[in-house]
Structure 1
Amino acid sequence: MKILIFSFTFIGDAVLSTAVIQPLRRRFPDAHITFLVGPRAAALFTTEPQINAVHIYDNRGEHAGWKGRLRLIKTLRREKFDIVVNLRDSLVARFIGAEHWGMGRSGGNRHAVTRYLEVLQRHGVDTTDAHPHLQLTEKELAEARRFLVGEPSRSRSFSSVGEPSRSQLRIGIHPGGNWIYKLWDAQKYAQLATILSKKLGASLFLFAGPDERELQTQLGGTMHPSPILVKTKNLRHLAAFIAACDVYIGNDTGPMHIAAAVDTPVVALFGSTNHHRSGPYGEKHTVVQSGLQLGCNPCHPGRNPGGCGAGRCAVIDGITVAQVVEAVEGYLT
């Protein structure tokens, strides 16, 4: 049995789609499962134990346009898949010569994971307790634990090592994201970090994407005491670092979904996006909102995301530092 999972380009969407892997493994334990994913997310899954192979779908490069899509179809047809689980509702998936398991017609105001699991349910697959999951190796986890030890004033690459210690609460913070309307004010993150460090005695780890190094350095310089600046381009390393934290705090981003998938409690800040559809999946996580209703929020997903043209989202900016502190303290009681 050969199964192709038609996943996504963006990291967060791809992580959410891993929810289908566990139930497929239970139903077809000897299946060869291939994950089709965008180039930005691919590295996160190449060593995932429950996935046998990863194919890249580069819709802005090699597979752009009809010629590119035709090239992808020919490549996939040679694999002779038995089932394609088409989570992105792609027309390409219907032409690869496999039994097609597709999405329903209406998404509604339901979580993406719920809709993905319904694809399997319609074909009699038991999805009990299914959720997005990244299975890190013991080596990856051990290296992250060694990395996360040391003076909090230092900036580190993944090769930094030390002896494991668990004397302090570890809190990971990621203030970045790929859309300005999703972002909470950076200075509020700095205020939050200072309070958490002083009030809870927490050791703070400041995460950033490859294009957010300047923000990471500037923001880290305003936090007291200074956090450890975690710098890595390797998504598996990032996942292992987050798994070693006791709590993760961040905006609606791919790393937020990575945190939930490695079972780290998430405090997620939402304003412009719909947490019912794309929030951290699972009851152990907390979504913080300001409660402001401007009539336009949430604007994403929607026909005109960011259509106000304000340059920032007043709804997410309305979240107070005290709200986030309270959410974090909820995990300590």
Structure 2
Amino acid sequence: MLKKDKVKKLFIRESNWIGDAVMTLPALKALREFFKEAHITIGAKESITTILKECGLADNYITIPHPAKGLDKARKLKLLKECGRENFDAAILFTNSFESALEVFLMKIPTRIGYATDGRSLLLTQAVPLPSNLEEMHEVEYFSNLIKNIGIDVDDDELRLELSKKDKEFAESFFKENNLSNKLTAIIHTGTSTKERQWHLERYAQVCRYLIEKYDAAVILSGSKDDIEDTNKVKSLVKGEIFDMAGKLSICQTAAIIEKASIFIGNDSGPMHIASALKTPIVVIFGPGNHHKTHPYTKPELYIQVKKEFQCRPCKQRFFKECSPAPSGKPECIESIEVKDVVDACDKIISTLDLNPKQNRTKL
């Protein structure tokens, strides 16, 4: 158990994935409230620290590249040594990796707390056992459970992501300049962590065409530079008002666009969890992922999960060792999801929207 009067400087090693980082928000809020007098530093890769900064849950942010692209071992050790000079009293790890535990060990932080995963228990001073109901526990609850094990209650589990005035103004200008304020706007994120989890791009294009033809919707494609080829393909298959913004926006600008959009459509991904934290209605496509653990953590009326049940689902995502691929090369659990399944879910969500342009949100 951590005693608040003993911790003057706390280091939090955040997740390396945007979706996971968003799902730590209730735990971060509880830590901030418990350690009101402490100086809290969050360490993570740049995209994570950027999206969290406006939430006011830490005093300082340190960028720790992961994976260490172009960062040799000597430079990484130098960075950790510099971090160690901060003389942190304790570290809490929301990561599960051995490498992150080694980082805080090398920073010589005396108290190091995290889950007993990836053979790293010897590097931690308190290795928290994994929950017995791990496969049914949502990731928000998983992260909250970690700090509950050190005597800190999480009384408020709502996801709340704050955006800067600058990013909100950017989104406002984007909508105004493109005459989107009076239209149904659908933001579609085709990207996933692995190609096997990604729904077919041609099917995304059919969803775009459906929304444009039925609702005169404006479609916004989001993504990083890695997604440009995919979004270009989707756009090439669609006639109508479609904005391909992949690789053109920062993560915070993307979040601001998501907040203003009428509906978010995409695979289980980081931007989907951003949409969840911003209360944007969601249609999420689940293939091999575990929907119990990573479904949108928001009001039930704000999302629909599109999924098909298979005995092997959710899998360990060691693709095609536990199942055979469909002719397309995709797992059957993602292959079997048809365009009709997704557009039906879109229709259901859209039917609940107040399409008053000043408030494209569900009728709650």
TM-score tier by shorter-chain length is 0.7 to 0.9
1:212 aligned counterpart, secondary structure = helix
**Alpha-carbon contact 1:144-1:240 (below 8 Å) kept:** yes
Distance in 2 between the 1:271 and 1:71 partners?
A: 41
Structure 2 residue 69 is the aligned partner of structure 1 residue 53:
no
- The letter for the 1-side match of 2:208 is A
SS in 1 for 2:43: strand
Task: State the number of aligned residues.
Answer: 317
Decide which moves more: 279-288 or 56-65. Answer: 56-65
- 8 Å Cα contact 2:54/2:162 also seen in 1: no
1:156 alignment partner in structure 2: none
Q: Are the counterparts in 2 of residues 35 and 54 from structure 1 also a CA contact under 8 Å?
A: yes
1:313 to 301, 311, 331: 331
Alignment of 1:186-225 (within 5 A): 186-225=201-240
The gaps in structure 1 that reach 5 residues or longer are 152-161
How many Å separate the matches in 2 of 1:72 and 1:201?
Answer: 51
Give the counterpart of 2:340 among 309, 319, 322: 322
Offset of 1:246 from its aligned partner?
1.9
The 3 A distance-change label for structure 1 pair 129 and 219 is: same
- Quote the residue 1:35 is aligned against: 42
Matches within 5 A, 1:10-159: 10-46=17-53, 48-61=55-68, 71=78, 73-89=80-96, 90-92=100-102, 93-94=104-105, 96-103=108-115, 104-107=128-131, 108-109=134-135, 110-151=137-178
RMSD, aligned α-carbons: 2.7
Q: Which moved more, 1:118-127 or 1:183-192?
A: 118-127
Deviation larger for 22-31 or 185-194 = 22-31
Structure 1 residue 169: deviation in Å?
1.9
Q: How does 1:216-295 map to 2 (within 5 A)?
A: 216-231=231-246, 232-284=248-300, 285-293=302-310, 295=311
Tell me the SS of whatever aligns to 1:5: strand
Query: Structure 1: how far apart are the matches of 2:319 and 2:12?
Result: 28
2:26 is matched by which residue type in structure 1?
A: A
- Secondary structure in 2 aligned to 1:116? helix
* Residue matched to 2:198: 183
The letter for the 2-side match of 1:174 is H
Name the residue aligned to 2:186. Answer: 171
Is residue 2:20 matched to residue 1:4? Answer: no
1:217–1:63 Cα change, 3 Å: closer
The Cα shift of 1:74 comes to 2.9
Return the letter of the residue paired with 2:288: S
Structure-2 change in CA distance of 1:287 and 1:79 (3 Å): farther
- Distance apart, 1:279 and its partner CA: 2.7
Give the Å deviation of 1:248. Answer: 0.6
Cα 1:63–1:134 change in 2 (3 A) is: farther
Conserved? CA contact 1:268–1:288, under 8 Å: yes
Unpaired segments ≥5 residues, structure 2 = 1-7, 116-127, 353-364
Q: Could you tell me which residue of structure 1 aligns to residue 358 of structure 2?
A: none
Distance 1:282 1:47, change over 3 A: closer
- More displaced stretch, 266-275 vs 320-329: 320-329
Question: 1:143: Cα distance to partner?
Answer: 1.5
Give the TM-score, by structure 2 length: 0.77
Deviation digits for residues 271-299 of structure 1 (CA, Å, limit 9, x no counterpart): 11112122322334535334241x43322
Aligned residue for 2:220, secondary structure, equals strand
1:243 deviates by 1.1
CA deviation map 1:135-163 (0-9, x unaligned):
10223112112112345xxxxxxxxxx7x
Which residue identity does 1:228 align to in structure 2? Answer: F
The corresponding residue for 1:157 is: none
CA distance in 2, matches of 1:227, 1:242: 15
- Distance across 2 between alignment mates of 1:300 and 1:148: 40
Alignment partners' CA distance in 2, 1:31 and 1:112: 26
After TM superposition, the score normalised by the length of structure 1 is: 0.83
**Partner Cα separation in structure 2 for residue 127 and residue 201 of structure 1:** 43
